[in-house]
Amino acid sequence: MTKPVLIIGGGPAGLSAAHALASAGRKAVLVEKEAILGGAPILSGYAKLVPSHEWAKDAIGGMVNRVVSNPSVDVKVNSTVQAFTGTPGNFVATLKDGSTVEAETAILATGFTHFDPINKPEWGFGTYPDVVTTTMVEQMISSGKGVRCPSDGRVPDRVAILLCAGSRDRQIGREWCSKICCTVSANLAMEIREMSPKTNVYIYYMDIRTFGLYEGEYYWGSQENFKVKYVKARIAEVTSNGSRLLVKGEDTLVKRPISIPFDMVVHAVGMDPNVDNMTISAVFGVDLNRWGYIGKQTTYAHLAETSRPGVFTCGAASGPETIDDSIAQGHAAAMAAMNFAGMAVRAAAE
């Protein structure tokens, strides 16, 4: 009798891997540190997802339901792995409650942590209540309360979205592009314009990376159908004139400094490596890459391999990733885990 595959993390990637394994007739144990499954889209209360425009609670909720109701998947919430020993095919994981799980292989689907913009203090988060994050705007929309200034609850006349908050910034040690924020911001800008047509939305950017097919629907769509304005300027600082926020920077296209009043400023926060990655690295004996994400061994031969044989990774654990690609990588990691087990069996038979 074969042992189950241990999956760490119950977000889109982990849920996808669990579903793929169960569909192939294999058993999986899914360990989630939070009390509920769903990962960032559920835990952070995302609104409508790119590119389907389904509400996160419906789209990811559906993924949760089909895993929870699957008898081949043993879900353990409020749980973490404290120790991980053994060899491929015979791993033993010790959980927080002291129980042990024997596993053939493991998949790390441990995701990311939202950038905390308190680390970019010149942009005013934590100083001014009306400086918020894309995650907070997602919550304003998904809660049904609408987009309002936290200071006094007014509907903003003018909103600035600052891209690359916690991305592409050597000053704060984050050299990566977080991949999703341009598209997410364009999507939010359209939702704000739709909910409140009198609110003007300005996006301050260095480059726009609404890659692939997102170009038309999100970048072009936000301009052509919703008159969202894009300004090529990296903001220097966000201050206040007493009644409104002042956004300062250089408008590079007119080569002039700007100091424009806004009612609300939104940081398009990037994807940091999971804050637990040092622990995960130590417990599972896997290397992290130079940016602090879980390192991948090869790019082309085996998409999901970490530095430790028999331990795989998928989704945003190994770098900024979209939800749909995380789901695809979850499948890929499940396939890699099954291949790995199959090879061990064949080697033993020869």
Smallest distance from another protein to CB 56, Å: 29
Smallest distance from another protein to CB 257, Å: 4
| Among positions 31, 159, 161, 231, the unique one binding another protein when judged by CB under 8 A | 231
Indicate the residue among 66 and 232 with the shorter CB distance to another protein. 232
Report if residue 242 touches another protein, rule: CB under 8 A: no
Report if residue 253 touches another protein, rule: CB under 8 A: yes
Q: With CB under 8 A, what is the number of residues at the site for another protein?
A: 20
Report if residue 200 touches another protein, rule: CB under 8 A: yes
Report if residue 247 touches another protein, rule: CB under 8 A: no
Smallest distance from another protein to CB 197, Å: 12
- Its sign, for the CA torsion 75, 310, 324, 133, is positive
Smallest distance from another protein to CB 235, Å: 14
Report if residue 197 touches another protein, rule: CB under 8 A: no
| Among positions 227, 339, 342, 345, the unique one binding another protein when judged by CB under 8 A | 227
Applying CB under 8 A, the span of 106-114, 252-260, 300-308, 324-332 interacting with another protein comes to 252-260
Neighbour-count burial for 220-256, b at 16+ CB within 10 Å, e otherwise: ebbbeebebebbbbebeebeeeeebbbbebeeeeeee
Give the position of tokens 């394994």. 21
Smallest distance from another protein to CB 202, Å: 8
User: Would you call 298 exposed, middle or buried from its count of C-beta atoms within 10 A (0-12, 13-18, 19+)?
Assistant: exposed
Applying CB under 8 A, the span of 109-117, 140-148, 225-233, 272-280 interacting with another protein comes to 225-233
Cα dihedral value 323, 273, 277, 37, nearest 10: -30
Report if residue 229 touches another protein, rule: CB under 8 A: yes
| Among positions 220, 278, 282, 285, the unique one binding another protein when judged by CB under 8 A | 220
Structure tokens at 252: 């590079």
124 contacts: CB under 8 Å, gap ≥ 6: 131, 237, 238, 239, 240, 245, 265
Strand partners, 76: 31
Is residue 7 within 8 Å of 26, Cβ to Cβ?
Answer: no
Indicate the residue among 157 and 276 with the shorter CB distance to another protein. 157
Strand partners, 199: none
Pairing of strands 105-108, 112-114: unpaired
Smallest distance from another protein to CB 214, Å: 15
Report if residue 288 touches another protein, rule: CB under 8 A: no
Smallest distance from another protein to CB 242, Å: 15
Smallest distance from another protein to CB 320, Å: 24
| Among positions 256, 300, 347, 349, the unique one binding another protein when judged by CB under 8 A | 256
Give the position of tokens 């090529």. 232
Structure tokens at 25: 């007739």
Kindly give the interhelix angle for 323-349 and 12-23, rounded to the nearest 10 degrees: 40
Structure tokens at 93: 């994981």
Q: Which residues bind another protein (CB under 8 A)?
A: 200, 202, 219-220, 223-224, 227, 229-232, 251, 253-254, 256-261
